[in-house]
Amino acid sequence: WKVGDMIKVIASDGTATDFKAIEVTNEGKTATFEGLTVENANEYYAVYPASAYKGTPEYVTDAAGGKLVVEVPHVQQAVAGTFHESAILCIANTKGNVFNFKHSCAFFKFNIAAPEGVKSVRLKVNGSDNVAGIGYVGVNATDMNPKYASSDANMSAYDMITLNAPEGGFEAGKDYFIAMRANSCPNGITAYIEYADNIK
C-alpha cells in the first residue's frame, strides 16, 4: 500500500463508498483507510483499485452467484519489476471493519532480452475470449478465491491484453507483468511483440 490509495467498500445492500489510505505501516502490508460512513450491513466487500469496481450485486443475474462486477483492463502500462496500480485487482470480504485483500488475477511474468524499439507486448490465451474486460467474480468469506464468470451482453470481454512500454522503453533483464483473469490454458498462450514501426 501507499498513502493515497483508493478502495471501494460495498455494503451487502449494494451501496458503495470510496475510502483513501491515510496511513501505511508494516512495510506497506497494512494500511488505515478513511472515508464517508458506509451503511450498516451484515457483510462488506472491498475492491482495489476503487476504479475497478463497476457495479452492485443486484446487477448480477447469473446463477453462478457472482457478487462483484469488476474490470481487468485490456490495455495496461508496463512498470519495471512490478505492476501498474490499475492492474492489481484485489478483492476482500469481511463482516467487520478489517479487510484482508487477495489478488483476483493471474500474472504473466516475462523479460525481453533485446527490448530496443519494442512498443508493446500482447498476450492471448488461445481459445478464450474472456481474459480481460468487465465481468463479475463470485467471492465468499471462507476462501475469497475469485471465480470468474463469463461477461454478459451488458459487459465487455477481450481475447487479448496489451502491455504498453513504459516511458523510456522496456529494459533488458527487467521483469514485467501482465494481469489477466485467472484462466485455464489448455490450448496454450501466444505472445506478440510489437515494434515502434508497427512490425510484429
pLDDT digits (tens, 9 = 90+) for 53-84: 987 655 444 444 446 888 899 999 999 999 88
Percent of the chain scoring above 70 in pLDDT: 85
pLDDT at 144 over 70: no
- Taking each continuous run of H as one helix and of E as one strand, the counts in the chain are 0, 17
What's the whole-number mean pLDDT along residues 82-107? 87
Which DSSP string do the residues of 24-90 spell out, in sequence order?
A: EEGGGTEEEEEESPPPP-S-EEEEESGGGEEE-GGG---TT---EEEEE-SEEE-BTTB--GGG--E
Specify the higher pLDDT residue, 129 or 90.
Answer: 90
pLDDT band at 148 (very low <50, low <70, confident <90, very high): low
Q: How far is CA 69 from the centre of its chain?
A: 12
Query: Is the per-residue pLDDT at 97 higher than 50?
Result: yes
Examine the pLDDT at 174 and tell me if it is beyond 90.
Answer: yes
Predicted pLDDT of residue 64 = 44
Highest mean pLDDT among 25-29, 92-96, 182-186: 25-29
Q: What is the pLDDT of residues 99-123, one digit of tens each?
A: 888 888 889 999 999 999 999 999 9
Residue 23 C-alpha cell reads as 496511513
Mean local confidence (pLDDT), 22-40: 91
High-pLDDT (> 90) share of the chain, %:
46
Count of beta carbons in the 10 Å neighbourhood of residue 188: 9
- How many residues comprise the chain? 200
Top pLDDT among 183 and 110 is at 110
Q: How confident is the model at residue 52 (pLDDT cuts 50, 70, 90)?
A: very high
Is residue 68 exposed (0-12), middle (13-18) or buried (19+ Cβ within 10 Å)? buried
Cα dihedral 11, 140, 126, 63, rounded to 10, equals -80
Range with the poorest average pLDDT among 24-28, 48-52, 82-86: 82-86
